[in-house]
């Protein structure tokens, strides 16, 4: 039954996601072609000789960039709206009457929706990454370079792939805690008989404020420098100390996100199991 719940939730809005993904990737291709054409040496010389042409190219470039930025925002904003809407309608709205008559547990319902939301959020992030690769992958060859040159420059950064994995894991935890944050405020809002949306927004603002204040006290790479003697500028010790600072800050933030995830999830589970109040 869990698999059926997940499959139904995952496929419920796939058409809209496909449309937004296709628009963003199409604009990325156009951007790559245009940027590559502009970056050609002969084109740069032409633009430097004719300022009026430069102005026209800049206007078109900024308009194209604005379209891509708007498409990227639409992808993430629509994903957030869908996550909120699906959870509210299926758990606390009219569809909730059908959801809670199924032979499933609250854990199965929550986890199916959470897993679906995580996968779509990751697909949105992957689409942004693929779009960036399309822009550079098309623009650089047209301008006389190769995408391999870009990766060769990145390879000079020590342990870059290790850091990408570490901070990618932190980003994954932040995505999960962000989804559960929306689920939590929706669940708190439904505890009230009237003005549920307003109460959800109010408690969401209060919880977000508390979490923001708490995050201020978390160590950052800058604040941890004195603690770990990063200011020892000897060549042999600087990189080692820098890694210690970043690892120290990263571990604390991972713990913070894990506490949020478990706290949010079990609070939501307690509400839907013991205080369910369908509209």
Query: Where is the domain boundary, 156, 183, 207?
Result: 156
- Both 163 and 274 in a single domain? yes
Name the nearest CA neighbour of 191 among 98, 107, 92: 92
CA dist 79 → 73, 138, 266 (Å) = 10, 28, 24
Q: Mean pLDDT across the stretch 255-279?
A: 86
Task: Answer yes or no: is 131 within a domain.
Answer: yes
Mean pLDDT of 154-169: 73
Same-domain pairing of 74 and 183? no
Range of weakest confidence among 45-49, 242-246, 265-269:
45-49
Encode pLDDT of 26-83 as tens digits. 888 888 887 766 655 544 454 455 454 455 556 666 777 788 888 888 888 989 999 9
In-domain check, residue 2:
no
In a domain, 24, yes or no: yes
Q: Are residues 44 and 151 in the same domain?
A: yes
> For position 209, what pLDDT does the model report?
92
205, 231: one domain: yes
Residues 194 and 83 in one domain: no
| Number of structural domains found in the chain | 2
pLDDT at 44: 47
| Alpha-carbon distances, residue 161 vs 147, 148, 242, 243, 253 (angstroms) | 17, 16, 16, 14, 19
Residues 130 and 182 in one domain: no
pLDDT of residue 103: 81
- The residue among 140, 156, 172 that closes a domain is 156
Longest CA pairwise span in the chain (Å): 73
Q: How far is CA 224 from CA 193, 227, 249, in A?
A: 47, 5, 7
Residue where the block lists tokens 């098309």: 138
Question: Does some domain include residue 3?
Answer: no
Taking residues 133-137, what's their average pLDDT?
Answer: 81
Cα separation values, 250 from 35, 174, 203, 211, 243, Å: 36, 12, 28, 17, 10
Q: How high does pLDDT run on average in the chain? A: 78
Is 5 inside any structural domain? Answer: no
Q: Are residues 83 and 135 in the same domain?
A: yes
Q: Between residues 34 and 146, which one has the greater pLDDT? A: 34
Q: What is the pTM of this model?
A: 0.81
Same domain? 136 vs 209 = no
| Residue pair 18/127 in contact by the 8 Å Cβ criterion | no
Q: Of 108, 132, 156, which marks where a domain is finished?
A: 156
Distance (Å, whole) CA 186 – CA 168:
28
Do 16 and 122 have their domain in common? yes
Give 193: exposed, middle or buried? Use CB within 10 Å, 0-12, 13-18, 19+: exposed
The residue range of the domain holding 193 is 157-279
pLDDT digits (tens, 9 = 90+) for 102-126: 788 888 889 989 999 999 999 999 9
Report yes or no on 1 lying in a domain: no
- Report yes or no on 187 lying in a domain: yes
Measured CA to CA in angstroms, residue 137 lies from 103, 142, 145 at distances of 50, 9, 10
Long-range contacts of residues 242-247, Cβ cutoff 8 Å, at least 24 apart: 243/159, 245/221, 246/163, 246/221
Asked if 90 and 215 sit in the same domain, the reply is: no
Note the pLDDT tens digit of each residue in 70-107. Answer: 888 888 898 999 999 888 888 887 777 777 777 888 88
User: Do 176 and 66 fall into the same domain?
Assistant: no
The answer to whether residue 134 is domain-embedded is yes
Give the pLDDT band of residue 248 (cuts 50, 70, 90): confident
Both 123 and 148 in one domain: the answer is yes
pLDDT digits (tens, 9 = 90+) for 212-222: 888 887 766 55
């Amino acid at each position: 039954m869990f698999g059926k719940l997940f499959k139904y939730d995952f496929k419920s809005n796939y058409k809209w996601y496909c449309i937004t993904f296709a628009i963003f990737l199409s604009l990325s291709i156009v951007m790559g072609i245009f940027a590559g054409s502009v970056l050609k040496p002969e084109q740069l010389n032409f633009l430097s000789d004719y300022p009026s042409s430069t102005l026209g190219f800049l206007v078109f470039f900024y308009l194209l960039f604005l379209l891509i930025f708007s498409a990227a925002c639409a992808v993430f904003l629509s994903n957030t709206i869908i996550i909120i809407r699906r959870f509210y309608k299926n758990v606390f709205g009219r569809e909730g009457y059908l959801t809670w008559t199924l032979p499933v547990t609250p854990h199965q319902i929550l986890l199916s929706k959470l897993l679906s939301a995580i996968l779509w959020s990751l697909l949105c992030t992957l689409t942004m990454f693929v779009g960036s690769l399309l822009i550079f992958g098309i623009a650089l060859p047209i301008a006389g370079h190769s995408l391999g040159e870009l990766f060769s420059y990145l390879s000079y950064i020590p342990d870059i792939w290790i850091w990408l994995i570490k901070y990618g894991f932190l980003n994954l935890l932040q995505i999960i805690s962000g989804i559960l944050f929306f689920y939590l405020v929706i669940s708190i809002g439904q505890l009230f008989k009237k003005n549920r949306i307003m109460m959800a927004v109010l408690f969401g603002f209060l919880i977000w404020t508390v979490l923001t204040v708490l995050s201020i006290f978390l160590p950052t790479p800058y604040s941890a420098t004195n603690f770990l003697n990063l200011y020892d500028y000897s060549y042999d010790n600087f990189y080692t100390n820098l890694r210690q600072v970043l690892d120290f800050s990263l571990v604390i933030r991972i713990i913070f996100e894990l506490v949020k995830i478990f706290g949010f999830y079990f609070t939501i589970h307690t509400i839907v199991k013991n205080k369910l109040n369908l509209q």
